[in-house]
Amino acid sequence: MSEGTSPRKPADEDIVGERVSDQVIRLDSQREQRRGNPPVVEDDELEAPVAPEPATLEAPSTQPKPAAVTIAPPAPAKPRRSLTRPILFALLPVALVAGGYYYVVGGQVMTTDNAYIQAQSLGVSTDVSGTVDEIDVHDNQAVKKGDVLFRLRPASFETALEGARAQLGTVRNQVLTLQASYQQSLASIDQAEADIPYYESAFQRQQDLLKTSTASKATFDSAQHDLVAARQKVTVAKAQAQAMLAQLGGDASQPVEKNPFYLQAQSAVDDAQRNLNDSVVKAPFDGVVTNVDALQVGKYLPASQPAFSLVSSTDIWIAAEPKETELTYVRPGQTATISIDGYPGAVWHGTVGSISPASSSSFSLLPAQNTSGNWVKVVQRIPMRVTIDDPQGKPPLRGGMSAVVSIDTGHARGLPDFVTDLLKRFGQKS
């Protein structure tokens, strides 16, 4: 090698070392990317690469230059293994066992959200027709049993009542007259019976005189006629007395108030009084009146036509319709927990009152005909009534509100059928 080329050797070695160092850095960055850790890029590395300066010829030096040393970057630290996966594998059998246990011992509570509040309600009406004279309540007002709701004009009812009372007095006088006439008939009977012995003796005397030809035939006939007439008077007086006694109800000594004619007149008075009382309409139970604006003062209200509605605030229950497959172990008398959608967090307690003997579709106008050719099986719903045991001190319940009913049947779900069958077979073989 000539002397002119020897000074270039150290510069070439430095360039080669720098290139090798760049390749090592690139390989390390590629390994980090494969492991999912992006390499950290320094601010200096973001700058544009600077091309190496060309080698220059320097004068030969008397001292030798040290060789270029390539320093490898430190190896990346090995990541610490996470404990999440072993913990999950360890908890998996525990979760399976716990889930199986709760499945076997669970299933005692039957829950349905197809439930709504129902309340006793009626259309307030009256048995008599009349003109509305006064309305004593307003819409959505709470009333108590016996509170006046509205009144009809009472003039016609009061007139009818006075007429019935006058007729009752007339009948009373008639009964008293019958009693007096009966007593008179009895006296007439006694008088007629007292005259019969006289007429009998007179007839016997004339008969004896006729035999001796002392008395005339005419005198004999007159005595005979008087005797027959006296006997007829007794018969007529007894018949009259019997007729009067029949009008007095067979007992002439009974009070006037028990006489049939008097009782009939008294019933007319009672009916007139009832009509007058019905002209004042009162609440039959505790509740809230609604749609009161449909009734106005001066309107003629026919008998039995509802004026407005009254909804009970005490006679309230839950009408639920669970699926037929959910009623396997539900029985009347079982306890229930009730929650209302309108009152989150509030809980009521109740009791299963009754279960309908037929499905809801059985009472529809056109029930399903399951024998038709296009029949499709549909799970039926059975109506069920749940009474509310503790409505006091709770938010007010209104008819039609949505509810969720949970009934404690006391019957656990148990092992699946195939597991039970396997256990039985294993027991028989052992």
Please give the full DSSP string across 100-155, using - where no structure is assigned. Answer: HHHHHH---EEEEEEEEEEEEEEEE--SS-EEEEEE---TT-EE-TT-EEEEE--H
pLDDT of residue 58: 46
Residue 180: both structure tokens together: 């007096």
pLDDT of residue 298: 93
Q: Domain 156-274 classified CATH 1.20.5?
A: no
Residue 90 — pLDDT band, cuts 50, 70, 90? confident
Amino acid at 68: A
Cα–Cα distance measured from residue 337 to residue 386, given in angstroms and rounded to the nearest whole number: 10
Amino acid at 206: Q
pLDDT of residue 142: 93
pLDDT of residue 57: 41
Amino acid at 315: D
Residue 42 — pLDDT band, cuts 50, 70, 90? very low
pLDDT of residue 4: 41
Residue 382: both structure tokens together: 């059975």
Cα–Cα distance measured from residue 179 to residue 195, given in angstroms and rounded to the nearest whole number: 25
pLDDT of residue 301: 94
> pLDDT higher for 430 or 218?
218
Domain boundaries, the chain: 1-77, 107-120+310-363+377-429, 156-274
410: left (phi over 0), alpha (psi -120 to 50) or beta: left
> pLDDT higher for 325 or 245?
325
pLDDT of residue 234: 82
| b/e burial code for range 412-430 (CB count within 10 A of at least 16 → b) | eeeeeeeeeeeeeeeeeee
pLDDT of residue 47: 44
Which range is least confidently modeled, 36-40, 82-86, 246-250, 324-328? 36-40
Taking alpha carbons only, the member of 356, 340, 357 closest to residue 396 is 340
pLDDT of residue 371: 66
Residue 343: both structure tokens together: 């009152």
> pLDDT higher for 84 or 265?
265
pLDDT of residue 180: 85
Residue 161: both structure tokens together: 């009542």
What does the pLDDT average to over 98-108? Answer: 75
pLDDT of residue 199: 80
User: Apex CA 327: angle with CA 324 and CA 328, to 5°?
Assistant: 105
What does the pLDDT average to over 184-198? Answer: 80
Q: Is the pLDDT of residue 425 over 60?
A: yes
The three-state secondary structure class of 176 is helix
Q: pLDDT tens for residues 343-400?
A: 999 999 999 999 999 988 888 877 777 666 677 788 899 999 999 998 888 899 999 9
Q: pLDDT tens for residues 248-295?
A: 877 777 888 888 888 999 999 999 999 999 999 999 999 999 999 999
Amino acid at 335: T
Residue 158 — pLDDT band, cuts 50, 70, 90? very high
Q: Is the pLDDT of residue 296 over 90?
A: yes
Q: What is the pTM of this model?
A: 0.60
Q: Domain 107-120+310-363+377-429 classified CATH 2.40.30.170?
A: yes
Residue 258: both structure tokens together: 């028990």
Cα–Cα distance measured from residue 147 to residue 160, given in angstroms and rounded to the nearest whole number: 26
> pLDDT higher for 240 or 267?
267
pLDDT of residue 10: 47
Residue 408 — pLDDT band, cuts 50, 70, 90? very high
pLDDT of residue 43: 43
Q: Are 139 and 293 in contact (CB under 8 A)?
A: yes
Amino acid at 299: K
Mean pLDDT for the chain overall = 80
Residue 337 — pLDDT band, cuts 50, 70, 90? very high
pLDDT of residue 54: 46
> pLDDT higher for 101 or 389?
389
CA atoms within 13 A on the CB side of 380: 16
pLDDT of residue 48: 44
pLDDT of residue 97: 82
In the chain, pLDDT over 70 holds for what percent of residues?
79
Residue 149 — pLDDT band, cuts 50, 70, 90? very high
Which range is least confidently modeled, 122-126, 308-312, 358-362, 399-403? 358-362
